Structures are given as C-alpha cells and as structure tokens.
Amino acid sequence: MEAHPKLRPVDAPTPGIFFAGSVEAPKDIKDSVTQAGAAVARSSILLNAGAVKGDAIKAVVDLEKCTSCGLCARVCPFGAIEVDIKAKTGARVITAACAGCGACAAECRFGAITIQHFEDEQILAQIGAALEEEPDKKVISFLCNWCSYAASDLAGISRIQYPPNNRFIRVMCSARVDERFVWHAFELGAPIVLLSGCHIGDCHYISANHWTMRRADRLWNRMEKLGIRPERLQLEWISAAEGPRFAQIMRDLEEMRQKVTPEEIAHTRNILAAKDLTRYGQE
C-alpha cells in the first residue's frame, strides 16, 4: 500500500522503499514506465542527500521493565522491534525503521516503552488539564495526527460550526491511545470519550489502527462488566477530507453528552477509583 495515493503515490509507508510497476497493482506498460521514473526520482533524493534525517518521534525501551514477552514486536506494523524471547535480553528498537506510531507503547502492559514527545505522562497531563474544570460538560477526543486531527482543521477552515466543549488530544496514531488514557478520562469525570483515526485500510502506519479496534473492543467489554455504558466510548474513522462529517460527529457527541447524568458520572468515578485501572499491569 502506498503512503498516500495522491501526494506520495510511489512511496511505501516504510521510508526508503518505493514502488514501480505492477508490484503495487496491475497496470499497463505506459503507467509502469511513468511510475518507474517517479520511483527513480524519489530514490535519487535520498541517494544524493548524503545524510538522512529521521523523525524524532521514536519508541524507547526501558530494559529494566521489559519482560521480553514479544507483544511489542507483534504489534509493530514496520517490524521495527526485535525480541529474543528465549534469551530474555529485552526488546530492541530499530530506530531507523520506527515510525513512532505508538502502538507498541499502548499495548505494553509493563510500561516498558516510551514514545518520545508523546509520553504517557504528557498525554495524561493533557487529559487532566482538559477536565480540571466542569468535566461533566466536556468531551475528550483522541485524534490521530494525519486524518481526524486534519479533518478538524478542515472543519475550522471551512467555518463549519460545532460545539466548542470538545477537547482534542492529538496523537500520531489512534493506536497510541492506551486503555489507561480512556480510564483516566472517565475517572476524572468525562461523560463521553472519542477514539478517532484513519479509515481501516488507509492508516498512515499501514495497519496500526487495527490495534485501535481491538483495544476499543476490550474497553467496551470491560465497561459492560463494570456496569458502565459502552456507548460512552465512541470509535469513529474520519479522513482528512471529511471536515463536514467531523463537525457532524462533534454535534452527535454533544447530544450523547447531554444524556449522561451527573449520577452516572459519579457512579463511574467511584467504580474506577476502586479498581484503579490506570496502573500498568492491570488484569
């Protein structure tokens, strides 16, 4: 799958890999030659650069906390993590291959992986600041940088009106949203929480948002068992071009928020305070 069908049609999501011809999809000779020329031009930029600068958003492993379980290696869509399960030497991040999506950090149950510039403490602090005053009137939305956050920009540029009480927390990928973040938002009194990212099959990080779906399913199941309405956690896929749809979803969330009673919020906070689901190593 190309990085972007229009803006980066010959680039793979993994930096330094380019497509040409029918390796991407069936095409005739003319299109194959055209794409081959584009791939050569793109690769020549790297070859002539001398040195290549990488993004600073990378995964970092704390070997003292790592148990070599190997889950992070299975989660990583770029194959950027290596784990010797038998040797128990801890996970090793191939920095040049890491794209910083954060899926590994969100799935790690031991808090052994940190994403530079999107650390757990930073995101938890944003949640706390957003819900510091009148939390029952706020909606917390976790938006991926490439699609849903871009859609919010498009809605703003287009001057489309939607409720102003939604608090956006930007992450590079929806897969970065740890279950702890959602529990923390509910524990602080958030009536509604939204997880939003790229459409399935169009993720900037290949297939990372598949882990978002799995995590949302786990959260819904746990919420139901705890007696918390699963509808209070919403999952929406929004592309960067869907500004009007983004605004409509914000309006729908506000309607949902108005139906969440103060008693329901208080009940949720009491349950989560007793369970302490914001810690690592939760069941």
Residue 238 burial (CB count, 10 A): 24
Q: Are residues 29 and 132 in the same domain?
A: no
Structural domain of 13: 1-52
Block means of pLDDT (10 residues each) for the chain, 283 residues, are: 80 86 90 95 90 89 96 95 94 94 96 96 97 97 96 95 96 97 97 97 91 97 96 97 97 98 96 80 50
| Confidence (pLDDT) at 282 | 52
CATH number reported for the structural domain that contains residue 99 in this entry: 3.30.70.20
| Confidence (pLDDT) at 16 | 85
| Confidence (pLDDT) at 55 | 86
| Confidence (pLDDT) at 1 | 72
Q: Are residues 16 and 111 in the same domain?
A: no
| Confidence (pLDDT) at 283 | 46
The answer to the question of residue 282 being in a domain is: no
| Confidence (pLDDT) at 178 | 96
The answer to the question of residue 208 being in a domain is: yes
Q: Are residues 99 and 124 in the same domain?
A: no
Q: Are residues 271 and 245 in the same domain?
A: yes
CATH number reported for the structural domain that contains residue 133 in this entry: 3.40.50
Count of domains observed in the chain: 3
Q: Give the domain-ending residue among 67, 100, 115.
A: 115
Give CA–CA dist 154/94, Å, rounded. 35
